[in-house]
Amino acid sequence: MQHYLALAAIVLLAGMVLVRSLIMSRHGTRALHFGKIDKKDFLIPPFVLFYLYLLAAAAFNLPPVSSQVFFGSPAAAWVGVALCLAGVCLMAYALVSFGRSFRVGIDTEHADRLVTTGVFSFSRNPIYVAFALVLAGQFLVLPNWILLVYLAGGVALFHRQVLREEAFLVQHYGDDYREYCRRVRRYL
């Protein structure tokens, strides 16, 4: 059961982002700017597809890539499900809080207003926190070395992207963004 819920969490996260992007596109705003600044971002999708296979293999008894497990604790797996649920809820709240300013990647041409309300009043990067919560939860549901590597790699990639976005935000919003950084933490 926990494997299905862990898989559903990542599908929900991706689905929310894609649906939000499509809705914005219909209203004339291009929200997807993935790989626009750094073409190396296009190396990420194959790793994401492999990750989805790992989760689907566990949920649907497909051939596993690794059968090695660090621990087998139903309690830890349910804590993982709770983290996944928290990540999905945080993502939903972030998308609502973002409003029309939501973008995937850095939109250097049509940056919208600086969002500092809603979930952004206590985290400058709630979407990355949401993804990290889901990755951590999925590791607790399926505690093998591959998901641990994905968790560490994901957190490193999120942090790399946050630093890139912050550099742009300082350049674009100046003192308003610096003041926001003094009031609100980067993650939690």
Mean pLDDT within 178-186: 96
Is residue 168 included in any domain, yes or no?
Answer: yes
pTM of the model: 0.89
Q: Which amino acid is at 179?
A: E
Provide the number of structural domains found in the chain: 1
pLDDT tens-digit profile of 74-114? 999 999 999 999 999 999 999 999 887 787 766 677 777 88
- 149, 50 in Cβ contact below 8 A? no
Q: Is the pLDDT of residue 37 over 70?
A: no
Range of the domain at 16: 2-183
Spatial distance between the Cα atoms of 29 and 125, rounded to a whole number of angstroms: 21
Those residues with Cβ within 8 angstroms of residue 168's Cβ, 6 or more apart along the chain or in another chain = 106, 108, 111
- 154, 132 in Cβ contact below 8 A? yes
Is residue 188 included in any domain, yes or no?
Answer: no
Model pLDDT, residue 146 = 94
Residue 135: give its domain's CATH number.
Answer: 1.20.120.1630
Give the start-end residues of each E strand in the chain.
none
Is residue 68 included in any domain, yes or no?
Answer: yes
- 151, 87 in Cβ contact below 8 A? no
Model pLDDT, residue 153 = 94
Q: Which amino acid is at 119?
A: V
- 39, 29 in Cβ contact below 8 A? no
Q: Mean pLDDT in the chain?
A: 90
- 16, 91 in Cβ contact below 8 A? yes
